[in-house]
Structure 1
Amino acid sequence: MLVVHEVGDAAAGAGLLNRAASGDQQAWRELVDRHAQVVWGVARAFTTNPADAEDIYQATWLLLAENLDRLREPEALSGWLVTTARRESMRLSRARRRESPVGLDSGDFARPDHAEDPAHKVLRAMAGSRLAQSFAQLPQRCQQLLRVLAVTPEASYAQVSEALGMPRGTIGPKKSRCLAELRRRMLAADLPEEVAG
């Protein structure tokens, strides 16, 4: 269950940050537990690749560990983590575009089926589905919002707002419009009503 920490918790968060900076492992674990869902939500909002999301997540925590004693406003840790995860997402996205080999099908480099676990087989099968195709046709902002809400369904609108840089009051209406557009695209792709609905 995601625990929503209010602004009044800022002093406690700053204390945790100071304890973690002095080497307290329990304080570090508490910091990660408090903010893991938001960092993961940002990472998943900016990529469809689970491995890239894990890289973004890990890089964000590594950067925090490296900068624990340099944070000027410890009470703003959540915002720092969101900003850092967003920047890491953009950095990784640029790096992936530079790495992409021209003229080669990336499927040629996939692991053999016998080494693939069932979860990866299902995810790979879903990627080719009409749902995935309809989702990929949505505007990027809709994709990011729906990904965050799917990955962290218990996140508050305040956390989603912070993760995506969207005004909190627009999240509910935007979510409704995005889901309606996804449904419309799925119906246009001749999916059965019960699948689209």
Structure 2
Amino acid sequence: MTEQGRTCGTAALLDRVALGDERAWRDLVDRNSGVVWGAVRAYSANRADAEDAWQATWLLLAENLHRLRDAEGVSAWLVTTARRESLRLARARRRESPSGLAGLLAEVDAGTESPESSAVRSVSAARMAQAFAQLSQRCQQLLRIMAVAPDASYEQIGAALGLARGSIGPKKQRCLRALRQRMLVSGSPDSVEGVAG
């Protein structure tokens, strides 16, 4: 973020964006990209859908900039829009294909590892995805947003998910314990080491 963007208030920044200032637009995106990305990942089954929802969110902001009444509420507007766009896209995807975990597993990159390592990792990833799918929707959303936006504050995460700031830490611990337990039950003790609980 530029120094000018840091010292500029949100209302002034939005005014500059409305006038076509590209630097102001970049500053606005820089200020809010983490929480928007976290929101779309929390509500998207895979990275491609999250990227589509992310782009749609910023496009909707550009189209509706003149309608914003509260400049200081732009972050909340972006989070709400990101959530809605992700859910809209998810509904459209469900109508297209009931693929289940295929979207999650499609993101696993094989890289240059040996076939044996790749097979073991695929089995571990499948078990992790299966255990993750057994969690409540709320736990899935919380763990996704924390994984893809680790620098997001509890306040931002709370805004994205509609949770009280003070409930996020305990909820995260309960969700991680539940994930760990499901992985242990599925017979994946080696994969559990990376799951704090």
Bin for the TM-score computed over the shorter chain: 0.7 to 0.9
Match 1:25 to one of 22, 26, 44? 22
Give ranges in structure 1 of 5+ residues lacking alignment.
2-8
Normalised by the length of structure 1, the TM-score is 0.80
How many pairs were matched up? Answer: 177
The letter for the 2-side match of 1:13 is: T
Which residues in structure 2 correspond to 1:50-61 (within 5 Å)? 50-61=47-58
- What is residue 195 of structure 1 aligned with on the other side? 191
Find the aligned partners of 1:105 and 1:157 in 2 and give their Cα distance. Answer: 29
The answer as to whether partners of 1:161 and 1:167 remain within 8 angstroms in 2 is yes
**Aligned residues of 1:126 and 1:132 also touching (Cα < 8 A):** no
Counting only pairs closer than 5 Å after superposition, residues 177-196 of structure 1 correspond to structure 2 as 177-192=174-189, 194-196=190-192
Partner of 1:155: 152
- Separation (CA, whole Å) in 1 of partners of 2:79 and 2:186: 36
Q: Pick from 85, 89, 111 the counterpart of residue 88 of structure 1.
A: 85
Runs of 4 or more consecutive aligned structure 1 residues displaced over 6 Å after TM superposition: 104-107
8 A Cα contact 1:38 1:82, kept in partner: yes
**Could you say if the C-alpha distance between residues 179 and 105 of structure 1 is closer, same or farther in structure 2, counting changes exceeding 3 Å?**
closer
Structure 1 window deviating more from structure 2 (68-77 vs 33-42): it is: 68-77
Overall identity of the aligned pairs, in % = 60
Residue aligning to 1:142: 139
Question: Where does structure 2 lack aligned partners over 5 or more consecutive residues?
Answer: 113-117
The one of 8, 11, 15 equivalent to 1:14 is 11
Quick check: 2:101–2:130 contact (8 Å CA) kept in 1? no
TM-score (norm 2): 0.80
C-alpha spacing 1:105/1:165, structure 2 compared with 1 (3 Å):
closer
- Where do residues 38-187 of structure 1 align in structure 2 (5 Å cutoff)? 38-100=35-97, 118=111, 125=122, 128-187=125-184
Distance 2:165 2:159 in 1: 8
Distance 1:105 1:126 in 2: 16
RMSD of aligned Cα (Å): 2.9
User: Within 2, Cα distance between the matches of 1:149 and 1:21?
Assistant: 32
Partner secondary structure for residue 118 of structure 1: coil
Q: Distance in 1 between matches of 2:126 and 2:186?
A: 11
Shift of 1:49: 1.1
